Amino acid sequence: MGNLAIFFGPEGGSVNRVAKALALKIENLKPALIPINEASADDLARYDIIIFGISTIGRDTWDQKFGNIDWARFMPIVSAFDFSGKKVAVFGLGDHITYAYHFVNSMGILAKSVVKNGGQLVGKVSPEGYDFQDSEALEGGLFLGLPIDEDFEPELTDGRLNVWINQLNQEF
């Protein structure tokens, strides 16, 4: 397995907490934990394995201190980056109750951009056990990453992370 980084944003909310929990669970792999508001294309180039953490609606929506700058600034970098030779996994936070018709949409948008730019997407997850109406992150009967709902199902996060990590260990 090559070097690994977890790029996440926004900082200070649920994505941040889940990224830290994930990093602790895979600490034997020595993952770098990189907030996207500090990241560049050079940072992406340094890693063979990348895990992205994104929210569909999150802290940047409800906390004006953060504005809408994290992913708005970083997504053009991702969209222009050549992911050839890189394995990429994505976890996405969403609210399956309030946003049932847009559940983890940003995760899907991000994952599709990675694939379009040559990345090998790993860590796809079955929608079994999730309750939602529609999602841009669903393709070919699978989520393009790991959906997490910290608003209404925080008690499931740890178990979902554990199962996903086992899957990633096989796919990386």
- Write down the mean pLDDT value for the chain: 90
**pLDDT tens digits, 14-53:** 999 999 999 999 999 899 999 999 899 999 999 999 999 9
Q: What is the CATH number of the domain that holds 128?
A: 3.40.50.360
Specify the long-range contacts of residues 78-82, CB closer than 8 Å, at least 24 apart. 78/44, 78/52, 78/110, 78/113, 78/114, 78/117, 79/113, 79/117, 80/41, 80/117, 81/41, 81/44, 81/45, 81/117, 82/117, 82/118
CA dist., res. 10 & res. 24, Å (int): 19
**What pLDDT, on the 0 to 100 scale, is given for residue 69?**
67
Which stretches of the chain score pLDDT less than 70? Answer: 1-2, 57-69
CA dist., res. 32 & res. 14, Å (int): 18
Count: domains in the chain:
1
Host domain of residue 145 = 4-171
